[in-house]
């Protein structure tokens, strides 16, 4: 069970994953050794899955986010499993969600432009196993893109 200090640690690390242990300990009111133990417990408890830099997609020439709804021929466990393994191997797919509703899966694909997306569509998406229909929508601009989860301290 997480306490107020754990939530404070998680919030601080979400805001800046490069915080030194000493700076983090000062922020949350712990000694550096106690803070390090808490962070290690949060890591091994799978509350912290990893640390990453957030890259500027536009600066790297990958400014087009394409939302792709995919419907499969069948929804059997075998079809779903084969599709999921294949889509996980596509490096241009940034996110993939199994859905309830009209589409079986929704993907976020990152492309440089429409021509690059055509390459991804022809070379990867249309070749995924069991695909019956692909519906693609280009995002015009990002309105909200959060990287952190709002945390409410309990206890």
Within 8 A by CB and 6+ apart from 98, the residues are 80, 84, 104, 105
Number of domains in the chain: 2
134, 68: one domain: yes
Per the structure, the complete domain to which residue 20 belongs is given by: 4-44
Pair of tokens at residue 10: 């998680």
34, 100: one domain: no
38, 70: one domain: no
84, 125: one domain: yes
Q: What pLDDT is attached to residue 88?
A: 98
Q: Residue 120 domain-assigned?
A: yes
Pair of tokens at residue 19: 């915080």
Q: What pLDDT is attached to residue 153?
A: 60
Q: What pLDDT is attached to residue 71?
A: 97
Q: What pLDDT is attached to residue 19?
A: 96
Tell me which residue of 98, 82, 77 sits closest to 130, measured CA to CA: 82
| Model pTM score | 0.87
Q: Residue 151 domain-assigned?
A: no
Within 8 A by CB and 6+ apart from 144, the residues are none
Within 8 A by CB and 6+ apart from 149, the residues are 14
Q: Residue 146 domain-assigned?
A: no
Q: What pLDDT is attached to residue 155?
A: 45
How distant, in Å, are the alpha carbons of 15, 21, 40, 152 from that of 2?
Answer: 19, 19, 13, 11
Phi, psi of 131 (to 5 degrees): -75, 125
15, 73: one domain: no
**Residues in the chain with pLDDT values less than 50:** 154-155
φ/ψ bin of 101: left (φ > 0), alpha (ψ from -120 to 50), beta (otherwise): left
- What residue has token string 């596509």? 90
Q: What pLDDT is attached to residue 152?
A: 79
């Amino acid at each position: 069970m997480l306490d107020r200090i754990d939530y404070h640690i998680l919030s601080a690390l979400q805001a800046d994953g490069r915080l030194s242990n000493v700076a983090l300990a000062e922020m949350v009111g712990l000694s550096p050794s106690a803070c390090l133990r808490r962070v290690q417990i949060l890591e091994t408890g799978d509350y912290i899955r990893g640390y990453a830099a957030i890259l500027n997609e536009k600066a790297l020439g990958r400014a087009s986010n394409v939302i792709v709804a995919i419907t499969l021929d069948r929804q059997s466990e075998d079809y779903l499993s084969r599709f999921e393994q294949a889509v996980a191997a596509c490096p241009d797919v940034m996110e993939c969600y199994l859905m309830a509703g009209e589409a079986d899966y929704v993907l976020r694909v990152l492309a440089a432009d429409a021509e690059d997306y055509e390459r991804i569509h022809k070379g990867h998406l249309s070749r995924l196993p069991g695909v019956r229909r692909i519906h693609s929508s280009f995002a015009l601009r990002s309105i909200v893109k959060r990287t952190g989860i709002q945390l409410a301290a309990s206890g």
